[in-house]
Amino acid sequence: MSNDVVNYFLELIAIDSESKDERAMADRVKADLEALGATVEEDSIHLKTGGNAGNLHALIPGRIDKQPILFCAHLDTVKPGKGIKPRRENGRIRSDGSTVLGGDDKSGVAEIMIGIKSVLESGVDHAPIEVLFTVSEEIGLLGAKHFDKSKLRSAFGYAMDAHRVGDLVLGAPAQNSIRITIQGKEAHAGVEPENGINAIRVASEAIAAMPLGRIDYETTCNMGIIRGGTATNIVPNKVDISGEARSHNKAKLEQVCADIRRAVDSAVKRHDYPFGAAAYTWDMNTEYNSFFIPDTEPVVQLAISALNSVGLEVKTSIGGGGSDANIINAAGLPMIICGTGMNKVHTVDEDIEEEELRRGAKFVAALITHYSR
């Protein structure tokens, strides 16, 4: 295991680990954790999710008078993430344009590992260090959802999974996933279209009436996938719509979802004819709950002190996306999300500054040393 966070990051992104295919990455990181003196457990959530690796939960012993401090990152990347070929140019690392870089979230993994390593090698007296590396985060936070949170022993934690080092995300919205199937009636589009019910038309009327985009400063809604029809000469009888709604406010989330269903219900009822009627099915699930941690809380104050100690600018914000922190907070353990330097993530233009990786590792080390005082 390299002492240099940039070299270690390059080693990690050379390991393919798209969601549900994290086996090689898990094996490497597990070996590196054990080399640091950690006791590592891998769970079997892949048997439930269809992947090939479980979550890694590790504990490095420390002072018996302190609870552990928790660091979290995810091992998987989005697609396209196989055969990553990094390019180093003017202090930046980028992909060759055919894949993502994998900084989301291998920058977080690298900074956690090198930050811990530097503390251990310094010989400083430290608190126990707990690490959770999850799998399948990018496809619905599956690893964190299925992890047994009762195993966590820390007072609070840090998910290394945001952008600029120094960014502290103190809250994130809840998300409801929505799946709608609209049923129409087939007919020949040229011979007897009047005897059909066009499910695409019904769906379009419903979507046009939905509250979409940014609803207000803490609520959003999007219909992102629509599938329907089989041929241009057939009146389509079925359309599937998939979307989501997010909000930091539970009542607002419930309201926007009710408005979406009302739009569907109204559109379907307009297509009731003597020869048949449109119909629909509705499936809505809460993917994760929202959280907010005030900046006066110890988990935030420690992060601010650590950043100040290494000369980094602090910026607190409320996020718009979900992460493992939503799941861990829901289990009762306070966790904020910290920047790692990742940039343009989920695109083939993704890059990261080498200096950001170094800053991130210093930040992790500072968190441990400040907490251990």
Q: Is the pLDDT of residue 3 over 90?
A: no
CA gap 22, 84 in Å, rounded: 15
Residues 6+ apart with CB under 8 A from 101: 13, 84, 86, 93, 94, 95, 350, 351, 352
Confidence of residue 276 (pLDDT cuts 50, 70, 90): very high
User: For the chain, where do the domains classified as CATH 3.40.630.10 start and end?
Assistant: 5-172+290-371
Question: Residue 343: in which H helix or E strand, if any?
Answer: none
pLDDT for position 338: 98
**Which tokens in the block code for residue 302?**
């420690």
Q: What is the mean pLDDT of residues 285-307?
A: 98
Binning pLDDT at 50, 70 and 90, where does residue 116 land?
Answer: very high
pLDDT at 2 over 90: no
Is the pLDDT reported for residue 174 higher than 80? yes
Q: What is the Cα–Cα distance from 249 to 173, expressed in whole angstroms?
A: 8
The pLDDT of 259-278, averaged and rounded, is 97
- Dump strand ranges (E) for 257-302: 272-273, 276-277, 279-288, 291-292
pLDDT for residue 306: 98
Q: Does pLDDT of 22 surpass 80?
A: yes
| Residue 137 is a catalytic residue | yes
> Residue 28 — very low, low, confident or very high, per pLDDT cuts 50/70/90?
very high
**% of the chain residues with pLDDT over 90:** 99
pLDDT beyond 90 at 1: no
Q: Look up 259 and say whether it is catalytic.
A: no
Report whether pLDDT(53) > 90: yes
Segment 259-272 shows an average pLDDT of 98
CATH class for the domain made up of 174-288: alpha beta
| Per-residue pLDDT tens over the stretch 190-230 | 999 999 999 999 999 999 999 999 999 999 999 999 999 99
Count of CB atoms within 10 A of residue 266's CB?
A: 12
Q: Looking at 22, 104, 111, 137, which residue is catalytic?
A: 137
pLDDT at residue 329 is higher than 80: yes
User: How does pLDDT run across 82-113, given as a tens digit for each residue?
Assistant: 999 999 999 999 999 999 999 999 999 999 99
**Is 3.40.630.10 the CATH classification of the domain at 5-172+290-371?**
yes
User: At a CB cut-off of 8 Å and minimum separation 6, what does 221 contact?
Assistant: 210, 211, 212, 213, 215, 243, 244, 245, 246, 256, 260
Tell whether the model's pLDDT for residue 157 goes beyond 90: yes
Mean pLDDT over the full length of the chain: 97
- Residue 259 confidence (pLDDT): 98
Calpha distance 309→252 (Å, rounded): 40
Region 287-308: mean pLDDT is 98
Catalytic, out of 21, 43, 76, 130: 76
Start-end of CATH 3.30.70.360 domains in the chain: 174-288
Residue 334 has pLDDT above 90, yes or no: yes
Contact indicator for 206, 264 with CB cutoff of 8 Å:
yes
This model's pTM is above 0.75: yes
